[in-house]
């Protein structure tokens, strides 16, 4: 049995002209020329913003889009927004991902803390300090429906900002209508908290495995990796997770519960959208495989029948606060393990 989760905070045909106008946009912030990385064309950002200063990162980076940043002056600009403007179809929803790698560009030891804002609404505070001191970049991902003909993605200093805000990369991806269709995007947006491939301990899964450029981070605890699962036929599952996330699994050989701390860290007290994906490659005759799912001791779904075609269970909204325990247990009468 495999489970692949993600957690959010609370076949399309387009005319040729529209599909060309509202294409996916990958912006290499601070760059002066186009580049190709991971089979994607990255554009310089000067067609999308006129403010700020392009700077090079002197530290060695493995990802080319982290080699430059655009910074925005802090002095006399607290709460002033500096905005990228991307042409969009205001009737559609978009995945937005912002990426940050400080690289000491401001001369301070610590990276600055500042706000990011989408279409005039605060998305989140950007705090990359922990990731930076681990040598990592930071990314933020959300799903939004634009309010106008341009999608506005802005940075602004706040009262905690002590040097110039900066950004390394910006991605804006047009999503199919069937994705995340349980959310009313005229009233709400989604901000990613965690999305993991359970039982997987390799590099982050992204494009081209995920055609919508989403990131699936490894969650390798209690892993039972398998390189091929011929009995699985996972396609058309809600939100279209990539088949690769079903190539590894979390499992128990005996019918006993499996408890995970997921998401990996504490979360603020709020309501969350939670989706869990399962698929069962065990098709032997008589192998009944049903499970009960609980979150912090509260029943999330009981008697879930896990099949080779895959199944997803989701809740929107679900209250969480602090550390979360996710428990999978064989349902009463199930003779198979997890």
Higher pLDDT, residue 65 or 236:
65
pLDDT at 2: 45
Residue 27: half-sphere exposure toward Cβ, Cα within 13 Å: 27
- Examine the pLDDT at 298 and tell me if it is beyond 60: yes
Contacts of 117 by beta carbon, 8 Å cutoff, 6+ apart: 81, 83, 123, 152, 153, 154, 155, 156
Distance CA 283, CA 302 (A): 21
CATH value of 13-174 in 2.60.120.260, 3.40.50.720, 2.40.40.20, 3.40.50.300? 2.60.120.260
For residue 191, give the nearest of 106, 100, 124 by alpha carbon: 124
Q: For the chain, which residues make up each domain, given as ranges?
A: 2-8+189-330, 13-174
- Examine the pLDDT at 12 and tell me if it is beyond 70: no
pLDDT at 227: 46
Mean pLDDT along residues 37-53: 96
Distance CA 262, CA 254 (A): 22
Distance CA 157, CA 133 (A): 21
pTM of the model: 0.89
Distance CA 51, CA 49 (A): 6
Mean pLDDT along residues 268-282: 88
User: pLDDT band at residue 310, thresholds of 50, 70 and 90?
Assistant: confident
């Amino acid at each position: 049995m495999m489970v692949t989760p993600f957690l959010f905070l609370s076949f399309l045909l387009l005319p040729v002209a529209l599909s060309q106008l509202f294409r996916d946009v990958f912006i290499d912030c601070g760059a002066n020329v186009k580049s190709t990385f991971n089979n994607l064309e990255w554009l310089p950002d000067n067609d999308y913003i006129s403010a700020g200063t392009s700077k090079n990162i002197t530290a060695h980076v493995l990802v080319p889009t982290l080699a430059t940043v655009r910074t925005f002056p802090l002095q006399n600009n607290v709460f002033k927004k500096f905005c990228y403007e991307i042409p969009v179809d205001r009737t559609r929803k978009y995945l937005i991902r912002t990426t940050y790698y400080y690289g000491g560009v401001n001369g301070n030891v610590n990276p600055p803390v500042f706000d990011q804002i989408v279409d005039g609404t605060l998305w989140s505070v950007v705090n990359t300090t922990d990731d930076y001191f681990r040598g990592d970049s930071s990314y933020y991902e959300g799903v939004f429906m634009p309010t106008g003909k341009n999608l506005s993605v802005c940075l602004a200093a706040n009262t905690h900002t002590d040097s110039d805000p900066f950004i390394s990369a910006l991605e804006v991806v047009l999503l199919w209508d069937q994705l995340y269709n349980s959310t009313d995007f005229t009233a709400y947006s989604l901000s990613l908290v965690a999305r993991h491939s359970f039982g997987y301990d390799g590099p982050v899964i992204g494009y081209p495995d995920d055609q919508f450029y989403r990131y699936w981070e490894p969650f390798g605890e209690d892993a039972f990796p398998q390189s091929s699962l011929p009995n699985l036929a996972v396609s058309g599952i809600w939100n279209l997770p990539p088949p690769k996330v079903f190539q590894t699994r979390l499992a128990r050989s005996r019918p006993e519960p499996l408890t995970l701390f997921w998401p990996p860290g504490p979360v603020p007290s709020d309501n969350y959208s939670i989706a869990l994906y399962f698929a069962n490659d065990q098709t032997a005759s008589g192998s009944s495989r049903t499970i009960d799912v609980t979150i912090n001791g509260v029943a999330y779904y009981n008697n879930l029948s896990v099949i080779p075609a895959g199944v997803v269970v989701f809740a929107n909204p679900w209250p969480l606060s602090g550390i979360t325990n996710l428990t999978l247990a064989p349902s009463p009468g199930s003779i198979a393990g997890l």
